[in-house]
Amino acid sequence: MRPPQPPREAMRTSRAFLGSLSAAHQTYRLYPDGHPNRAEVVRDLHARARSLATASRGDAVVFCTRHSFYLGPSLLSRESLSLNRLIEAFEAIGLEAVEILTSCTEADIDGFARTLVGERPMGESLGGVMLNRVRPELDPEDNDLQGLLNLLRSYAIGLDVLRETAEKVVAGEDTDLDATRRVVSGLATQVARDPSQALLVSAVKSYDEYTYYHMMNVCILSIALGHSLGLRQDQVATLGLGALLHDVGKMRVPREVLNHVGPLDQEQWRLIQRHPVEGAGLILLNDQDLIDPAAAIILEHHAAFDLSGYPKLSGRPRPSLPARLVSVADCYDAVTAKRSYRNAEEPREALAILQSGVGKGFDPVVVRTFVRLLGLFPVGSLVMLSSGEVAVVLRNHDELFARPTVRLVLDASGTPCAPEERDLSALARDGSYVWSVERSMDPTELGLDMLSVILQGEPEDEVESEGGLVHEPSFGEAPPPGYVDTHEHPGEGAAASRLDSEVSAPFGA
Amino acid sequence: MGGQTPSVLEQTDRERLAAALLRQLSIGLSSYRLFPGELEQPAFKAAVRRIEKAAQDALEHGPVEAEVLGDHFELSGGVGVSDEITDRLARACYDRQAERIRVTAVPQPADLDVLYEVLSGPVEEVQQAGGPEMLLRRAGVLSVALGELAPQRVDVQELLGQREFEAYVDRWPQLADAIRLPEDVASEASPMELAKALFSRLRAVVAALPPDASPAVDLFRALQMAVASLPTDQQHLLTTMVVAQAGRDSVADGFIGTLSDTELSRLLVQVAQAEEVDPVRLAERLVARGSRGSSLIELTRSAAGSAAKEDLLQGLSSVLAPQREADAKDPAEGRIVYETVSDLLGRTLLDREQADLETLRAEFPDDEDDEAAIATAAIRDYFMQDDDLPRLEQVLANWTGAVQRALRRADAESVARLASLLVGARADAATGPPERADVFARHWLQAPYSGLLLDVIAEAKSSGTTESLVNLLRPLADAAVEGLLETLGLVTDVNDRGQLFKFLGELGPGNLEPIVRRIRGGDWERVRDAVAVLHRCGGPDAARLLEEASHHQVADVRREAVRGLIAVGGTAAVSRLRELALDQDEGVRTLAVNGLGGLVTVEAVAALAGVVETADDPLVRRTALEHIGRHPGPEAAQALERIWRMRGRGVPRSLRRLARRLLRARRGRR
């Protein structure tokens, strides 16, 4: 029996509360007692806290456990990913539960914020904000969830490392390559433990922090690809490091270009297209030994299989294999993310785009291996079953590509339902299949937040946001308006490379 | 073998080796397709070596011949060869209508290039170019042959098979006569009427045969043979009718029942081409009627070539695309199609999985050397392309640090690798903006600085590895020379200086720029050292520069230059040496005249005679005369005689007497 879930409005207001709390935490660390900035954030946080208490129809409890935030029994997945520093602050003082009473005052909120930065002992009573009065109750035996939460934690730490890297890059300071290596090492271990789960997490997207999430996802996809090739752990780590940092050069692209709304001019595109060289430069700056294969991945990930991309490479017929692997993962993740100028493509469509670029942008063998890894219905994608139910793909069948294991999200009437797992290769007594996939689905079509679907097994409304960084389109991806294509396309219009006819194209473009 | 039938054991061994050769040829095809036409790729070269070895072994038992049966091979002895590797080669042959492969000699890389190009080329293009057999023959490939399907001939072979029609093998001409329609009937009927009539006659023939014969396989083989002998149009119409009736009519079922899936798939393609229908649909219909297993669909698709593949994949795309209206209309049908296609896709991917994984694993950097090779290529490109000078400065500072650490470790490999990073970029930068060129030049020259080199040399001395220092420094070229020249300026010990001169003498040729800079510089001691290095380097450039240095205002420099001119200048330096024999510095004069004396050329004798006649320094004149006296050539005697007879023309009597004595002594010696 599943515990009662909090109202949807409470979930939304809890997110706003945690966002505001994170801002307050930063402000309290930066400004002394009595500073007007503190008063300002307290006012905002108090308003959010009251909204949360009201929406919860009583007293709201936010838990922080297993390195994740929960509202009651419901995981606040996106906040668990994006507010890693706040989680660490909770963990530093041993804070596991914050209970907001409807009677809470601004003074209580101020006390709470001061507790969070260590200015005030945990034990002192706050009146309208109760700390650690209740304890979270989670199923300790749920290994799948535990694995997923560990992965989530690594993901969150990775995001933080990337944010710090960005800050240092912008400030012209040295970046900490060892920290990124640790992130990759942690991810590699977790991917090796359960590749399907890792692929599931790689379906997480963020519109606002597109680049960081994208870098994390490409890292996970590349590590999973490396793992599926049977590479050694050190080889996977090399691949993962390059993948994690493949877009680090974008951090040197001026913010006004990345945040630009509307068509970019040629010079602005040139700046964006410099990011592989910028990125390689940043790595070489920070690597004393200089000879770092990650630099090759970063420099070459847009060079294209037939070298028609950028920057121009010399003296070799192809980009290096690690770069070719990362470029496929890069395209797949980029295409499946929502951009300011287009909706996210379905995973299946993304695979079709990859296939259309075989022999030109992408290595045919790598694409085949990638398709084999992800399957016809990639892990993390949504499908409609023959029963009319909607489910998320959890794992692929080794041989029956159309018969993955899925987890239900919506019932046939479109209502959220219990996250039951179904193995679509299961046979009925008469030898026929019990369930089949009817078609693949676009989560935006249903307005679902895939992160909550993936992590909690239950759908939530898509988080609305604005802005989003300009993204350099991958090979085959629909370019944004005004895009200036600097690729060379030798033999365009003619039959694709000789390899193409031999690559049994798994998907029509 | 001597023409005898091979023993069972021999036969087995032969087949095993033939299968091994086919496997290696297939692996070679996979390697080739990774980098088509690039015969120097390491993976391809390795594959060629393995093919050669396998061919040598297999050919010891005679030529290797295998028949292509759709997705596998059958050797001449009837033994099937089928595994996921050889099946790829079989499929590539099959797709291009090569029905057999024959290896008669060890294939050379050029032969394999042609073979693999044919087997990798688009099916239609290969056919348009004359087919695989023709393409190989045209390219002069003799070691490997691909048998082409000649449609008419092969139709008969395909339809007949070889073994199973003993009972009716003699009757097929009569059967054909019984089936064939008279020409007058054929010319007046519509195609549909003709087809029906032919099929009816076929059924009549079957019915007319003895009852025990009708279910027999050999009957239908004979019938196929009979049909194959009909006029082409009748043959085609009857075959089409048989295909149309399959699953509904026992005669039609019997007729196609004796065909293998491979044979039937080709038949379907032929029928479909003539009827302008999709052969895959025909195959699907036969499968749906239970006449054949589902593998017929895949084989037919393969036989039909890439166009049919695309149709099917477009179908898959339309089935899976959620926005398409068609899905909403009949999702169940769509599901069946995509399940079929996804199973095919799955099988294709699974078939190739092992080979793909092996290919990628083999190419993935395996150790530090592999990683370094990848990184080196990329960083070279980075240096060529980054125009952010402040960052370039910092990265180059890293580079300098890395080089210096490698030098301290005496790690020649790393030094070479690091040095190679800048080779192209420096040359490129030299033609660009001067600030960028300066950044590269500065860091390059700073890497092996003198203090570091002193440490490195001291360490090498203590560990007895000084001999390897030249190799360690060689990749740094002019930077190493610059550093060593600087070091030379800091060292006073004669032995240490000698060692440095030795290093510089080895590293200097080809890297004269730092030496030239010093020669044209102001500090005479540095100039002198540079001149001393120069004459250890040799070469025409060195001679020219030494001559330039011999004009230096400091006598010490001129003395070094004279030594150099003597060492490397040869005859070309004679005229300058003669001038230097008249130099204001005694040391220079002495060195120059002795240098001329060491040369055995006519020009040297003339120069010495000139010195005797014109020099102010009596000692130099005397020395010059004595050198003439020692010169072995007849021109020396002539010079001595001329000097002896030069009364009243500026040559002192004592010198003329000496000339006479020397002349007499030469004559006495003879």
pLDDT of residue A371: 84
Q: Scanning every residue of chain A, which has its alpha carbon at the shortest distance from the alpha carbon of B403?
A: A289
Q: Which of A281, A437, A501 sits opposite B391 (nearest CB)?
A: A281
pLDDT of residue B214: 41
Best residue of B395, B408, B420 to probe chain A, by most A CBs closer than 10 Å: B395
Q: Which backbone phi and psi does B119 adopt, to 5 degrees? A: -80, -5
- Cβ of B122 within 8 Å of Cβ of A281? The answer is no
Q: Which of A295, A436, A497 sits opposite B335 (nearest CB)?
A: A436
- The answer to whether the Cα torsion of B32, B34, B40, B46 is positive or negative is negative
**Distance between start and end Cα atoms, chain B:** 81
Q: Measured at the alpha carbon of residue A427, what is the angle toward residues A421 and A432, in degrees to the nearest 5?
A: 130
> pTM of the predicted model, to two decimals?
0.61
Residue A280 has pLDDT above 90, yes or no: yes
The mean pLDDT of chain A is 80
Side-chain-facing half-sphere of B21: CA atoms under 13 Å: 31
Residue B645 has pLDDT above 80, yes or no: yes
Query: For residues A152 and A169, what is the distance between their CA atoms, to the nearest angstrom?
Result: 25
Query: For residues B416 and A123, what is the distance between their CA atoms, to the nearest angstrom?
Result: 64
In this structure, the number of other CB atoms found within 10 A of the CB of residue B289 comes to 12
pLDDT tens-digit series, residues A60-110? 889 998 788 888 877 787 788 778 889 989 999 999 999 998 889 999 999
Q: How far is B585 from chain A (nearest CA, A)?
A: 54
- Cβ of B375 within 8 Å of Cβ of A295? The answer is yes
Q: Which of B319, B382, B399 sits opposite A280 (nearest CB)?
A: B382
Range with lowest mean pLDDT among A183-192, B132-141, B579-588? B132-141
Choose between B119 and B157: higher pLDDT. Answer: B119
pLDDT tens-digit series, residues A358-379? 888 899 889 888 888 887 788 8
Assign A492 a pLDDT band (cuts: 50, 70, 90): very low
pLDDT of residue A110: 94
Scanning A23-52 for CB atoms below 8 A from B yields: none
pLDDT of residue B345: 61
The mean pLDDT of chain B is 79
Q: How far is B371 from chain A (nearest CA, A)?
A: 6
- Cβ of A506 within 8 Å of Cβ of B310? The answer is no
pLDDT of residue B9: 37
pLDDT of residue A476: 55
Q: Which of B310, B331, B379 sits opposite A290 (nearest CB)?
A: B379
pLDDT of residue B476: 94
Instruction: Write out chain B residues lying below 8 Å of A317, CB-based.
Output: 35, 38, 41
DSSP B647: T
Assign A478 a pLDDT band (cuts: 50, 70, 90): low
The torsion angle over the Cα atoms of residues A199, A203, A208 and A213, rounded to 10 degrees, is 10
- Cβ of B345 within 8 Å of Cβ of A504? The answer is yes
**CA nearest B591: which of B562, B626, B623?**
B562
In whole angstroms, how far apart are CA B474 and each of A348, B422, B444, B483? 55, 14, 13, 12
Biggest CA pair distance of chain A: 76
Instruction: Write out chain B residues lying below 8 Å of A354, CB-based.
Output: none
pLDDT of residue B484: 94
In whole angstroms, how far apart are CA B560 and each of B486, B502, B566, B583, B591? 18, 16, 10, 14, 9
Query: For residues A28 and A33, what is the distance between their CA atoms, to the nearest angstrom?
Result: 8
Beta carbon pairs, A and B, within 8 Å = 204
Contact status of A92 with chain B (Cβ, < 8 Å)? no
Assign B41 a pLDDT band (cuts: 50, 70, 90): confident
Query: For residues B613 and B642, what is the distance between their CA atoms, to the nearest angstrom?
Result: 11
Average pLDDT over every residue of B461-478: 91
Residue B265 has pLDDT above 90, yes or no: no
Instruction: Sheet with A129-131: list strands edge to edge.
Output: A74-75, A68-71, A60-65, A97-100, A129-131
Q: Scanning every residue of chain A, which has its alpha carbon at the shortest distance from the alpha carbon of B40?
A: A317
User: b vs e for A106-140, b when ≥16 Cβ sit within 10 Å of the residue's Cβ?
Assistant: eebbbbbbbbbbeebeeeeebebbbbeeeebebee
Locus of tokens 């028609």 = A308
CB neighbours of B491 closer than 8 A, spacing ≥ 6? B454, B497, B500
Contact status of B37 with chain A (Cβ, < 8 Å)? no
Instruction: Write out chain B residues lying below 8 Å of A312, CB-based.
Output: 381, 385
Instruction: Write out chain B residues lying below 8 Å of A389, CB-based.
Output: none
Scanning A224-243 for CB atoms below 8 A from B yields: 228-231, 235, 238
Residue B330 has pLDDT above 70, yes or no: no
DSSP B146: E
- Cβ of B346 within 8 Å of Cβ of A401? The answer is yes
Q: Which of B117, B313, B391 sits opposite A285 (nearest CB)?
A: B391
Classify residue A226 as left (phi > 0), alpha (psi -120 to 50) or beta. alpha
CB neighbours of B353 closer than 8 A, spacing ≥ 6? A369, A372
Query: For residues B83 and B264, what is the distance between their CA atoms, to the nearest angstrom?
Result: 22
Range with lowest mean pLDDT among B53-57, B135-139, B178-182, B504-508? B178-182
pLDDT of residue B440: 93
CB neighbours of B440 closer than 8 A, spacing ≥ 6? B383, B396, B422, B425, B426, B429, B430
Range with lowest mean pLDDT among A51-60, A87-96, A448-457, B620-629? A448-457
Query: For residues A490 and B34, what is the distance between their CA atoms, to the nearest angstrom?
Result: 18
Assign A506 a pLDDT band (cuts: 50, 70, 90): very low
CB neighbours of A68 closer than 8 A, spacing ≥ 6? A75, A76, A77, A80, A87, A149, A152, A153
Contact status of A306 with chain B (Cβ, < 8 Å)? no
Assign B341 a pLDDT band (cuts: 50, 70, 90): low
Assign B449 a pLDDT band (cuts: 50, 70, 90): very high
Average pLDDT over every residue of A3-18: 78
pLDDT of residue A468: 38
pLDDT tens-digit series, residues A176-220? 888 889 999 989 988 888 887 788 788 777 766 788 889 999 999
The listed range with the strongest mean pLDDT (A483-487, B47-51, B400-404) is B400-404
- Cβ of A376 within 8 Å of Cβ of B418? The answer is no
Question: Which tokens hold the place of B448?
Answer: 């092996």
pLDDT of residue A457: 61
The listed range with the strongest mean pLDDT (A241-250, B5-14, B135-144) is A241-250
- Cβ of A369 within 8 Å of Cβ of B342? The answer is no
Instruction: Sheet with B144-148: list strands edge to edge.
Output: B80-81, B72-75, B64-69, B98-103, B144-148
Best residue of B89, B127, B374 to probe chain A, by most A CBs closer than 10 Å: B374
Query: For residues A358 and A38, what is the distance between their CA atoms, to the nearest angstrom?
Result: 55
Q: Which of B363, B382, B417 sits opposite A277 (nearest CB)?
A: B382
